[in-house]
Amino acid sequence: MAEVQGKTASAEEGRVAQALDKLKHNYIFQYQVFNITGVKGSFVLDFLVLSTVPFSTPVEVFGEYYHSGDITREDQLRIERIEFELGPNINETVIVWGNEAQTQEDTDGVILRKIGRA
């Protein structure tokens, strides 16, 4: 387990946070978006990256614990709802798969490719 902004994080989330830090991004970890009872992880977005211009970028880390490597219908609905709740001035949600974030070097490369530098 890792810690990000004083909150418990998965190892993959910790590596994503380190990559965002290296690329000088400002972000909120575990950003509360909405509340749907009974939907896994629906209370919080893993990361809201504030330093992507011109709009903020939602980032979800899909690790092996909750996700099998494919986007399920539930995942897709959740992403659509996040983007709806955050409004029109938001970038498309970026998904970082657990297998993309197994090492810090891999995670750094994925974040650079999918989000870029601040």
pLDDT tens, residue by residue, 2-46: 999 999 999 999 999 999 999 999 999 999 886 666 666 556 899
Six-digit token string for 112: 């650079």
Helices within 1-118 (DSSP H only)? 11-22, 73-86, 104-114
Q: What is the mean pLDDT of residues 74-96?
A: 89
Encoded amino acid at 37, one letter:
T
Reported as a pLDDT band with limits 50, 70 and 90, residue 58 is very high
Record the pTM.
Answer: 0.87
Q: What is the pLDDT of residue 65?
A: 54
Q: What is the pLDDT of residue 77?
A: 86
CATH top class, domain 2-112: alpha beta
Q: How many C-alpha atoms does 118 have within 13 Å on its Cβ side?
A: 12
Q: What is the pLDDT of residue 67?
A: 52
